[in-house]
Structure 1
Amino acid sequence: MEHYGWLSLLPPVLTVVLALLTKEVIFSLFSGVFIGYLIVNNWNPIMALIGATDGIANSLNDGWNIRIILFCALLGAFVGLVQATGAAAAFGKWMASKVKSRRGVQIVTWLFGLFVFIDDYFNSLTIGTVMRPVTDEQKVSRAKLAYILDSTAAPVSVLAPISSWVVTVMSIIGKSDGFEKLSVSEFTFFIFLIPINLYAILAILMVLQSILFGDFGPMKKSEDRAIKDLGLYNPDYGQPAGEIKEGIVVKEKARAIDMVFPILVLVGLAVIFFPVTTYLGSIDGENIKTFSEAVKSMSLKDAFNNTDASKALFYAVLFTLVISSIYFMLRGLLSIQKVGDAIISGIKSMVPALVILTLAWTIGSIIKTSAQEGGLGLSKFLSEVVVAGGFPLWLLPVVVFLISAAISFATGTSWGTFSIMIPITMPIAVALAEKSGVSLLNSALISVGAAVGGAIFGDHCSPISDTTILSSTGAGCPHLEHVATQIPYAVFVMLVSAVGYLVAGVLHNPYVGLIVSLIVFFVAYMFVKSYSDKRAS
């Protein structure tokens, strides 16, 4: 027996239902894990609990997984370190000093959001607190500031090749059934995935479009109110979200370079370690004995493609943490005690994400492993059902996108949606591509890209999403005003993205899907903006 049939659907379905009802992702994921082990242990609850415990432990008993956990923890430490120095405030002050116009300040805030790609929470709180006095002075509504913060949080983090989001997506993709047939590394797949992450790309462009060409809908009302000196926020939506005091630190000694330097070090070291890790791994002591021999044995391109991203990123963040700590102490921004406190604080902030990631690996393992090996064989079962049922491959991306968008909006989490949708989507996309005789890689890229894009939609605009709440807080905007003004923009981007995924699925080409979605985006925006202006007049 390769699978448990329809029973193998129970864990992911239960996870989704519980997440929708309870809004508690960790509880929902663990329940899914437990049910999975309950099925394979003949409904014995004691053995199921033991199995679930062992499954979680086994998820961490893996070189790749533990390095991803360590990378995320150390990235949190790095964010805590930068946050404690006051460097972000200095960087924001420097950027703001270069512009004096209302539009310019919004563009600076947007660019700041693109630059601070390492963590979405850090982005929302820090940039909001730094830029709020500047945007207030230029009469930019708090709702618009919150929107800029939110749209450069998760959408930017999931596109940047170096962030906790990237390693999360890579780790779930790499563990998904069918991935091994694509003949690419997890990191290479992620790089190829960027152009078809339509929602994230368009959400970022939507901010710039609204800044340059004007707003529509509820956002326009909030902006008009601010421009006319009627208030930076609308009290009808309630009072602004409470400030988080730890969100920003101001120090006189801090300079803009103190923000730029550690991030450049992190990016630079990651770029270096991607090929270096491959070269080091190829030294076997027999055919290749030295690093120089390893370099000569393969091209730089092959070294990048065959890299172990978990090692490269772990090395990069570890070295960056050491270099940054020494740099900040030499600059007199932190004492050795403060460095330790900042690192511990940063790691603590990552704990919930690490728990979600571990449970995601565990449920992914139990549902994809075949029945002979102690799992449910869900991916094999779904592949058989979908292929035998004649489900069209061209329709898969848009269906996956809409389902992922619905789950993420209802639960407010993208990571939970990643863990549910990617392991289900990958084997179906690969199986349908094999049946249709088309490119397996293109099929997987478009469909998985749709799952990731849909997951970002909910994280971006759901009222219960962490980043939505933190963006309201960082901007000092009433939470309901932020949600009400942002949702029309988010839904607009979602609909345009759906068109792009539909075209990409029909033509089986991710790049055509991107081009079409960009054309539709710009044309549709000008149409909606023109229609909105006519109604307003």
Structure 2
Amino acid sequence: MSKKQNLLTLICIILGIVGALYVNYCVPETWVESRIQYQMTQNDQAQWQYVARGKTQVATDIVAYQESPLRQQNLDKLQQAPSLKQQWVFIEGVQGPSLLKADYHFGVWSLLPAFIAIALCLISREPLLALFSGIVVGAFMVGKFDVSSDVLIPNMATTDAASILILYLWLLGGLMGIWAKTGAAQAFAQMMSERFVSGPRSAKLVTWMLGVLFFQGGTMSTVLVGTTVKPMADKANVSHEELSYVVDSTASPIASVIAFNAWPAYVQAFLFVPGVAFLATEADRLSFFFSSIVFSFYGIFAVLGTLLLSLEWTRFSGKPMRKAIARARLTGQLDAPDAAPISAKELHAVNIPENYRSHWLEFILPLICLIAIAVFTFVASGSPQIHWAFGGALLLAIVIALGKGMQVRDMLEGLGTGWKGVVVASIILMLAITIGAISKQLGGGIYLVELLGEQLPFWCVPVVLQILTMIIAFSTGTSWGTYAIAFPLAMPLVWVIAQNEMLANPEIFMMICFAAVLNGSVYGDQCSPISDTTILSSMTTGCDLMDHVKTQIVPASYAAIMAGMLWTLCALVLT
């Protein structure tokens, strides 16, 4: 970093810490009532039960809503934290009990950790420093001054953190290391170049088609497509900014359009609105989800934008992307001169043992195994078992290498190289999860949604919801986490507005607003430098994280603007 960048970084960190201490000592929490309505049934003992995360749970100690200390009227009188954080209550006119929760926020201060992390990413281009600084600021805001014991260790001891460690460090890193040692990726790139890829356009088109084909979305799509196409695209002289954009923008956006994946089952749980017949049952909510896909304008435009770029039509790609394309074509430099990719160069270096002959099938067969396991487990259980898929692919790659005569010592060396190559990226992912958890705890998303009022003109509601969810997802780095915050608050609000305005087609209005929340969250997640998919897209394609963010945000914003205009038009014309 330059002296100016160092100074700005230091000032940003100091201001963040000062602000955090001010919040901790001077800003009281604002407590907010929130309700979660599960689909409730009664068992043989007449107990109310519901299904959460695949397990049947029983609601206990149910009280009348008027008696609950978690009612907003009671929370407004609090001088300190409530004695209860959640309680089951009966609400008049609602079938079965509802879960009442007490959440809090610090107003606009709740956004401080995410703001510091994102600002430092832009200033210093060092995601490790940015994320850690954001975590420290968030920890100080809630009075946790022993950051390692009170924040890092508890969050890194979670199932999510362990999943990242196993999947992205051990399994993905090991698989990439084995491919680097056997030369399988280079052999695949050579085969594709000889048979299918003749230049940047065809390389990007292959990437785009794979992104559409792997429509499960999220981290699996970015990892699978990124690792598959990088050697081929490097050989075709595709800049890493182009490649990471195509990989990232055909992950979650396509999953919101071709929704035969885990998204509908997850999202429908947040869509129940008391008294709304077309959202009454799980089947109704799933039908509502799929009926709303025609309004997923951002997902459609994002995927079309990557197709246009793949076809070398760059009018809507933005100046930073065009600059990256020109650099790669004219100089052969796939990264900017000052780029610092978060994946190690060792993963892309060829270090094949003597007398070992590489073959492109060593790359394809593990991929087929990975996809087959993921698809089979998705069909069988409704959720793809990603760890099984990557574990099976790694095991098959090792078996093939040893079967072809590779020494155990060379195989272990390849695994070690792979693990070393993704250590930094894995740490960044774990820190991203931690700052996302802190942002959620501080209630930034709840505060932003609270800014909405019931007096909004109905035609501007979709765009307002889009903007709010874009900010929430960008600040927290997660679309699914944004859904959990936004949908339970937004959908009842939209229904009230539809009734107050006496709209002729309230269900269509609900679909438009639903699509705005769904797609706004995808945009924010996709463009956030603290998002796991953004980080993984950069890692697997060998791109500098902030170069990826800065080049992707322009075409993604074009897609978001066009989507917002269409949602407004549809609200005016169709409802």
Match of 2:50 in 1: none
The equivalent residue for 1:364 is 440
Q: Does 1:493 align with 2:493?
A: no
Give the equivalent residue in structure 2 for 1:263.
Answer: 367
Greater RCO (CA < 8 Å, at least 6 residues apart)? 1
Residue 54 of structure 1: how far off its partner (Å)? 8.9
Q: Give the letter aligned to residue 276 of structure 1.
A: A
Q: Deviations over 1:347-374 (max 9, x none)?
A: 6342321332244346536749xxxxxx
1:90 maps to amino acid: A
Matches within 5 A, 1:204-215: 204-212=303-311, 214-215=313-314
Among candidates 120, 133, 156, match of residue 27 of structure 1: 133
What are the Cα deviations for residues 294-345 of structure 1, in whole angstroms up to 9, with x where unaligned? xxxxxxxxxxxxx3x37x3344333443334323432446744246425634
Question: One-letter code of the match for 1:256?
Answer: W
Residue pair 2:193, 2:236 contacting (<8 A) in 1 also: yes
Is 1:93 paired with 2:190? yes
Map of 1:399 onto structure 2: 464
Unmatched segments (≥5 aa) in structure 2: 1-68, 77-102, 122-129, 215-219, 274-278, 500-505
Deviation at 1:474?
Answer: 5.6
2:236 equivalent to 1:134: yes
Contact 1:443 1:508 in 2 (8 A): no
2:489 alignment counterpart:
428
The code of the aligned residue for 1:456 comes to: Q
Name the aligned partner's letter for residue 416 of structure 1.
G
- After TM superposition, the structure 1 = structure 2 runs for residues 403-422 of structure 1, keeping only pairs within 5 Å, are 416=477, 418=479, 421-422=482-483
Residue of structure 2 equivalent to 1:248: 348
Retained in 2: the 8 A contact 1:401–1:498? yes
Deviation, 1:263, is 1.9
Q: 2:398 maps to which residue?
A: 325
Pair 1:96–1:66, CA change in 2 (3 A): same
Describe how 1:56-67 pairs up with structure 2 within 5 A: 56=155, 60=158
Return closer, same or farther for 1:459/1:424 CA change in 2, 3 Å cut-off.
same
CA distance in 2, matches of 1:190, 1:342: 44
* Alignment of 1:110 onto 2:205: yes
Aligned residue for 1:344? 419
Tell me the secondary structure at the aligned position of residue 132 of structure 1. Answer: helix
Distance 1:446 1:469, change over 3 A: closer
Is the CA contact (8 Å cut-off) linking 2:205 and 2:310 kept in structure 1?
no
Check the 8 A contact 2:112/2:137 in 1, yes or no.
yes
Residue 253 of structure 2 is aligned to residue 156 of structure 1? no
Secondary structure of the equivalent of 2:105? helix
- 1:242-298 Cα deviation digits (max 9, x unpaired): 785224244573322222222221221122223434xxxxxxxxxxxxxxxxxxxxx
Q: Which amino acid aligns with 1:111?
A: V
Give the TM-score, by structure 2 length: 0.56
Of 524, 535, 549, the residue aligned with 1:454 is 524
Greater per-residue helix proportion? 1
Partner Cα separation in structure 2 for residue 15 and residue 200 of structure 1? 28
Q: Using the TM superposition, give the Cα deviation of residue 491 of structure 1 relative to its aligned residue in structure 2, in angstroms.
A: 4.2
The correspondence of residues 48-87 of structure 1 with structure 2, limited to 5 A, is 56=155, 60=158, 70-71=166-167, 76-77=172-173, 79-81=175-177, 83-84=179-180, 85-87=182-184
The answer as to whether partners of 1:151 and 1:203 remain within 8 angstroms in 2 is no
Q: How does 1:195-234 map to 2 (within 5 A)?
A: 198-199=297-298, 201-212=300-311, 214-216=313-315, 218=319, 231-232=330-331
Shift in Å, 1:500? 4.1
Instruction: Give the counterpart letter for 1:353 in structure 2.
Output: L
The answer (yes or no) to whether the contact 2:529–2:535 under 8 Å persists in 1 is yes
Amino acid at match of 1:76: L
SS at match of 1:153: helix
Q: Aligned partners of 2:402, 2:245: CA distance in 1, in Å?
A: 34
Deviation at 1:149, TM superposition (A): 0.5
Number of aligned positions between the proteins: 429
Amino acid at match of 1:329: L
Q: How far apart in 2 are the matches of 1:53 and 1:79? A: 28
In 1, Cα distance between equivalents of 2:294 and 2:570: 11
Unaligned runs of 5+ in 1: 39-43, 136-141, 278-306, 369-377, 510-537
Q: Is the 8 A contact 2:370 2:393 kept in 1?
A: yes
Q: How far off is 1:106 after superposition?
A: 1.4
Output the CA distance in 2 between the equivalents of 1:157 and 1:507.
Answer: 31
Residue identity opposite 2:464 in structure 1? V
TM-score, structure 1 as length reference: 0.59
> Alpha carbons of 1:213 and 1:395: their partners in 2 closer, same or farther (altered >3 Å)?
same
Identity score, percent: 16
Whether contact under 8 Å (1:394, 1:508) holds in the other structure is no
- Partners of 1:497 and 1:472 lie apart in 2 by 28
* Per-residue CA distance 1:60-91 (angstroms, 9 max, x = gap): 2x6x8865775555553465345434322222
The aligned residue for residue 15 of structure 1 is: 113
* Cα separation, 2, equivalents of 1:65 and 1:187: 30
Q: CA deviation at 1:195?
A: 7.1
Confirm or deny: 8 A CA contact 1:55 1:362 kept in the other structure.
no
1:509-532, Cα deviation, whole Å (9 max, x unpaired):
9xxxxxxxxxxxxxxxxxxxxxxx
Contact 1:77-1:344 at 8 Å conserved across structures: yes
8 Å CA contact 1:170, 1:187 repeated in 2: yes
Q: Write the mapping of 1:269-284 to structure 2, written as runs, cut at 5 A.
A: 269-277=373-381
In the alignment, is the contact (CA less than 8 A) between 1:450 and 1:501 conserved in 2?
no
Over 3 Å counting, the alpha-carbon distance change for 1:442 and 1:239 in structure 2 is closer
Is the CA contact (8 Å cut-off) linking 1:130 and 1:248 kept in structure 2? no
Distance 1:334 1:108, change over 3 A: farther
SS in 2 for 1:152: helix
Report the structure, 1 or 2, having the larger strand content.
Answer: 2
Distance 1:67 1:458, change over 3 A: closer
Q: Residues 424 and 324 of structure 1: is their aligned pair in 2 closer, same or farther, counting only changes over 3 Å?
A: same
Separation of aligned partners in 2, 1:420 and 1:491 = 21
AA partner of residue 108 (structure 1): A
Across the aligned residues of Structure 1 and Structure 2, the Cα RMSD in angstroms comes to 5.5
Tell me: CA distance 1:458–1:323, structure 2 relative to 1, closer, same or farther (3 Å). same
Which residue does the alignment assign to 1:528? none
Counterpart of 1:8, as a letter, is: H
Tell me, yes or no, if the aligned pair for 1:147 and 1:471 is still in contact at 8 Å: no
User: Once the two structures are superposed, what CA deviation does each residue of 1:139-194 show, in whole Å capped at 9, x if it has no partner?
Assistant: xxx6xx34530222222333577xxxx99989996997979988389999999998
- Whichever residue aligns with residue 120 of structure 2, its letter is T
